[in-house]
Amino acid sequence: MRVLFINHVSQLGGAEHSLLALLQGLDRSLVEPLVVLPCPGPLAESIVGLGIPIEFIPMRRLRRSRNPFRMLSYIASVATASTRLAELISTQGIQVVHANTTTAQIYASSAPRRSGVPTIWHVRDLLPRSSIASSLLRDATRVIAISQAVAESLGATADPAKVHVIHNGLDAEAISPTCVSGEKVRRELGSRKGELLVGMVGQLVSWKRHDLFLQAAAEIAKRSGNARFVVMGSDLFGDHRRYARALPSYAQRLELGDRVRFLGQRTDALEVIAALDLLLHPAEHEPFGRVLIEAMALGKPVIAVNAAGPKEIVENGVTGLLVPPDDAQALAEATVSLLTDARRATLMGQAGRERVVREFPISKTISAIQDLYREVCGESA
C-alpha cells in the first residue's frame, strides 16, 4: 500500500517522535511510505536516515487570528499546498493519506477529496469544539485518537465506527535502563552522591504548567535538602517567548536559586530522563503524555495529574502517583513521599516498565494502524 504521510513542521516534537517510531517499525513488505514536510530540518534528516523518500511542500503553521490579512494568507497557503498534494497523490499512485497532526489534516483534507483517496487523521490534541474540527472529522475516512480523552474531545457527534483509540507506543527494548544511561548527564549537572534529581521534560508552553512544577519544587526544597530540580525543553516553535523567558525569574522569586537548572532543548532527552530519580508531569490538559511512557520504560516512577491522557497511562499507587489538577501542594507531597521511600519508588519504577512493555509497545501501535490502512484500502477498492 502506497501511504502518504503529511506533517506540517520539520522540527522534532512529541508528535514527530511518534511519527518516526511508526515509520521505523512499518512492515515495508506491506506499506510503501512517502513523507511530505514543509522544509528541511531535524525531522527530515531522521526520515532520510530511515531510507524513506521525502517531498517538500511549503505549509505554514496555522494559528488562530482575527487579522483578516493573516487569515487570507493562511487560506492561500492551504489552497496552494492542497493543489500540490493532489498532484502528488495522483502521480505517485497514493492509496492512503495519513495526516500526522490536525494542521496536516487541514492541508490534506481537500486534496484526497479531489482524488477519492481515503484519509486518516491522527488527532494528537484535545480539540475545542469548533466548526473546523467538525469539518475535518467529516472529511476524514478514519480518525486515530491517541487517547480516550482525545476521542471524547471530538464530541458526541463523532461516528464511533470512524474513531479509533490507538495509544502511542515505543520500543521498550531500545528504551530501557540497560540501554540508556543517565550517568553522563548527572556528571554534567555536577550531581553529588545521594543527591535526588526531580525533573520535568516538555516544551515550554503554558499548558504544560512549568509554573506548577516550580511551585512544587520550592515546597519540596524546604522538606528535602538533597533534592535538585531540572527543567528540559524550549519554546520550540517560538509561540510562547514571554512564558519561556519568565520561568527562570519565577524560579528566583521562589528562592530556588541554584537548586534548579533549565537545560533548554536537547537531543539527549532520554539520557536526561534516565538521570532523574523522579519525573513530574503537572499538565492537566495533556492529550497523552509520551514523556510518561518514556520515563516508565526507563524504570522511573512518575507523578502526573489525574486528568486526560496521563490517567490512562499511570496506575495510581502502582506505577506512579496521580494528583489533583492545579495543586502544587499535592504535587510536592506526592514527590516527597517517594523521595523518602526509595523502596516504594523503585517498585513503582519496575511496575511502570512492566506496564509499558505490556500496554504500550510500538508493535501494538503499528499493527493497529496497519490494520486501518488495510481496512480503508479495501473499502476504496
Domains 2-169+361-380 and 183-359 share a fold: yes
**DSSP string covering 90-118:** HHTT--EEEE-SHHHHHHHSHHHHHHT--
Higher-scoring residue by pLDDT: 181, 225: 181
> What local confidence, expressed as pLDDT, does residue 130 receive?
66
> What local confidence, expressed as pLDDT, does residue 373 receive?
96
Q: Are 71 and 39 in contact (CB under 8 A)?
A: no
pLDDT band at 115 (very low <50, low <70, confident <90, very high): low
Give the tens place of pLDDT for each residue, 5-23. Answer: 999 999 998 899 999 999 9
> What local confidence, expressed as pLDDT, does residue 161 receive?
85
> What local confidence, expressed as pLDDT, does residue 116 receive?
79
Residue with cell 532527552: 269
Q: Is a pLDDT exceeding 80 seen at residue 375?
A: yes
> What local confidence, expressed as pLDDT, does residue 113 receive?
61
> What local confidence, expressed as pLDDT, does residue 108 receive?
84
> What local confidence, expressed as pLDDT, does residue 42 receive?
95
> What local confidence, expressed as pLDDT, does residue 66 receive?
66
> What local confidence, expressed as pLDDT, does residue 215 receive?
97
The closest alpha carbon to 3, from 293, 291, 369, belongs to 369
Higher-scoring residue by pLDDT: 218, 135: 218
pLDDT, the chain, mean: 91
> Cell digits for 256?
530556588
pLDDT band at 156 (very low <50, low <70, confident <90, very high): low
| Superfamily in which the 2-169+361-380 domain is placed by CATH | Glycogen Phosphorylase B; (3.40.50.2000)
> What local confidence, expressed as pLDDT, does residue 134 receive?
81
Show me where the domains of the chain are located: 2-169+361-380, 183-359
Give the tens place of pLDDT for each residue, 54-67. Answer: 999 998 776 666 66
The interaxial angle of helices 290-297 and 14-25, nearest 10 deg, is: 60
Q: Are 247 and 231 in contact (CB under 8 A)?
A: yes
> Cell digits for 305?
495529574
> What local confidence, expressed as pLDDT, does residue 314 receive?
97
> What local confidence, expressed as pLDDT, does residue 31 receive?
96
> What local confidence, expressed as pLDDT, does residue 62 receive?
66
The secondary structure element, H or E, covering residue 122 is strand 119-123
183-359: which CATH architecture?
Answer: 3-Layer(aba) Sandwich (3.40)
At position 262, the amino acid (one-letter code) is F
Mean pLDDT of 195-217: 96
Q: What percent of the chain has pLDDT over 90?
A: 77
> What local confidence, expressed as pLDDT, does residue 291 receive?
97
pLDDT band at 82 (very low <50, low <70, confident <90, very high): confident
pLDDT band at 77 (very low <50, low <70, confident <90, very high): confident
Give Dmax (Cα) for the chain: 66
Q: Is a pLDDT exceeding 90 seen at residue 194?
A: no
Give the tens place of pLDDT for each residue, 298-351. Answer: 999 999 999 999 999 999 999 999 999 999 999 999 999 999 999 999 999 999
